[in-house]
Amino acid sequence: MSAHAKTISLTVNGTRVEASVPPRQHLGDFLRERELLTGTHLGCEHGVCGACTILIDGEPARSCITYAVACDGRSVTTVEGLDDDPLAAELREAFSAEHGLQCGFCTPGMLVAARDVVLRRPDADNPAIRTAMSGNLCRCTGYVGIVNAIRRVIDARNTNAG
């Protein structure tokens, strides 16, 4: 443990957590190694691949270039915390139906980012979905299945709303 360890208090998937963290520990390592929430995947660890995308106060963020110590007082939601989220459930179903994943490494980040796209951009056409999802890399699918999955959820929601 670092001589510089700080005590932080935050909410992780709805549960209050107090922890002593070395300031250099990024949020992704904190979630995986201390909270054992291994659904958050670490790819590039410098903010490029998007695999580690989680929610901080409801907004997507890269957990690899956000330090745990900076999240004192915040509410963090990982892919595990979206188990009972209705929109995340629709997305999981659609990703499966549309072959939006193969190896699954990028999927936790994809689901968090896709959820944000559906909420923020209900009018998005396919090019807009591609642009909005371009911060998340997938090396298996070629993205077609991922775009189709998000398309499916947006269309279903718009049909139900209409």
CB 47 to other proteins: min, Å: 5
Looking at the Cβ atoms of 72 and 155, the one nearer to other proteins is 72
For the chain, the farthest-separated pair of C-alpha atoms sits apart, in whole angstroms, at 58
Closest distance between other proteins and the C-beta of residue 157, in Å? Answer: 19
In the complex with other proteins, which residue's Cβ is closer, 62 or 152?
Answer: 62
Minimum distance from residue 51 beta carbon to other proteins (Å)? 11
Q: Which residue, 6 or 99, is less far from other proteins as judged by CB?
A: 6
Closer to other proteins by Cβ: residue 72 or 83: 72
Give Cα separations from 158 to 9, 26, 84, 117, 162 (angstroms). Answer: 39, 38, 21, 14, 6
Residues that bind other proteins (CB under 8 A): 2-4, 6, 22-24, 26, 45-47, 50, 53, 56, 59-62, 64-67, 69-70, 72, 113, 116, 120, 130-132, 134-136
H-helix or E-strand spanning residue 149: helix 144-161
Nearest residue (CB) to other proteins, 130 versus 151: 130
Q: What is the DSSP string of 93-133?
A: HHHHHTT--SS-SSHHHHHHHHHHHHHH-TT--HHHHHHHT
**Least gap, CB of 159 to other proteins (angstroms):** 25
Distance CA 44, CA 58 (A): 23
CB of 21 to other proteins, least distance (A): 9
Taken in order 70, 42, 19, 22, is the CA torsion positive or negative? negative
